[in-house]
Amino acid sequence: MVIAAEPAALDAVERTTLPSHSAASLTRRSLLRSGAGALAAVAGAGALRPARAAPASVPFGAAIQFEMFDIDAAYRHAFRDECAIVLPMNELKFGLLRPSREQFLFEPADRLVDWALSNGQRSRGHTFVWWSTNPDWLEAITDEAEAERVLVDHIERTADHFRGRLESWDVVNEVMAHEPGGRDGPLRDSFWLQRLGPRHIPLAFGTAARADPSARLVINDYDLEFAGDRYDRRRALTLDLVRQLQDAGHRVDAVGIQGHLYSHLKIDREALARFGRDLKVLGVGLLATELDVIDFQVPGGPDEIDEAARVVVSDFLDGLFAGQRPEAVIAWGLTDRYSWVPDAMPRADGSPSRPLPLDRDYRPKPWFADVRQRLTQG
């Protein structure tokens, strides 16, 4: 017996651009959104994939891009139906928000965030401080005090604008050097490090905590997943940065492990588990923030590529869960149709990369079913 429910309101974009939905599909979606109980009630109505995280499970999410949002309904529907969390991939970065010192272009991110919230989904912010995607006017600043004023003002006004809508922020992104302790220093030689020194990190965390006390504060970085000395150094440095922030009295709620997984490399499950346990001892959570699979070094066709992806994603999740239950697993996009990976690391044989949970035609990869099952187990 299907428990009738008020159809969820069409989202703003669908109201204006899409044919009206049948009440049944809206009922189905609103039931999925209301959690496991309602889902059980519609089981007789045919197999329904739990598109939303049931209460006990780990929420799955993905980063969405504004360029495709209006022009590709299938793209929008995939995010609506597959995700519990949807975040703007680029629209909250300094360079896209602030084309000039006077401008705060909030509208694209507002549309994405408010659309997600109107669907009953959650959202998060990426990112206040990064070495990349900074506008020329910012990097032209030479005075330390001015750079500090700009950083504080940016975080204060942006965090205030989104307060109550974003459950967490990547306060800083990729502050570690690519090879810490190698040819580089421990921290990446960014504009912020050059102008403010390492203090830009606690400055950002302190400002964010004051500007939006309700948001969880995250330090986000990459290459924390694999076996090898460089990855060990990056995990160790991340823990040091967290401890230093805490010792200075700053709140660090979680570490974001980006999870750009090279499927020719080996995940160090034990080191990842130890990393999660060490964070737990510090009272710090973890989440996967940018999951995708980089397959340019894996020979073969789609089946071989997807099998290598299944292994690396499975090992990654095993390592995460062995350390502590992740707060969320978020993919960096949803469909192979739109991904940074093939542009950045194209496959040597010229065949299409297969980085994301859905292929170019929005068909789920075999490994995505494994992810869903793992997250549903909680």
CB 81 within 8 A of CB 61: no
Cβ atoms < 10 Å from Cβ of 284:
23
User: Is there binding between residue 103 and ligand G3I (CB under 6 A)?
Assistant: no
Q: Build a one-symbol-per-residue string for 160-199: x at contacts with ligand G3I by CB under 6 A, - elsewhere.
A: -------------x--------------------------
Single residue of 17, 22, 133, 214 touching ligand G3I by CB under 6 A = 133
User: Is there binding between residue 139 and ligand G3I (CB under 6 A)?
Assistant: no
The site for ligand G3I, by CB under 6 A, has a size of 11
User: Is there binding between residue 132 and ligand G3I (CB under 6 A)?
Assistant: yes
* Of 103 and 132, CB closest to ligand G3I: 132
Gap between the terminal Cα atoms of the chain = 28
Catalytic, 307? Answer: no
Catalytic residue among 148, 174, 225, 327: 174
Which is it for the CA torsion 324, 328, 333, 336, positive or negative?
positive
List Cα–Cα distances, 349 to 301, 310, 340, 355, in angstroms: 10, 21, 18, 16
Judge residue 192's burial from the number of C-beta atoms within 10 Å of its C-beta, 0-12 exposed, 13-18 middle, 19 or more buried: buried
Show contacts with ligand G3I in window 246-285 (CB under 6 A): 258
List Cα–Cα distances, 55 to 285, 310, 322, 372, 378, in angstroms: 18, 25, 20, 14, 9
Catalytic, 148? Answer: no
Q: Build a one-symbol-per-residue string for 54-93: x at contacts with ligand G3I by CB under 6 A, - elsewhere.
A: -------------x---------------------xx--x
* Of 39 and 85, CB closest to ligand G3I: 85
Helices (H), 119-190: 136-139, 144-162
* Of 33 and 231, CB closest to ligand G3I: 231
Which residues are identified as catalytic?
A: 174, 290
Residues in contact with ligand G3I by CB under 6 A are 67, 89-90, 93, 96, 132-133, 173, 258, 290, 340
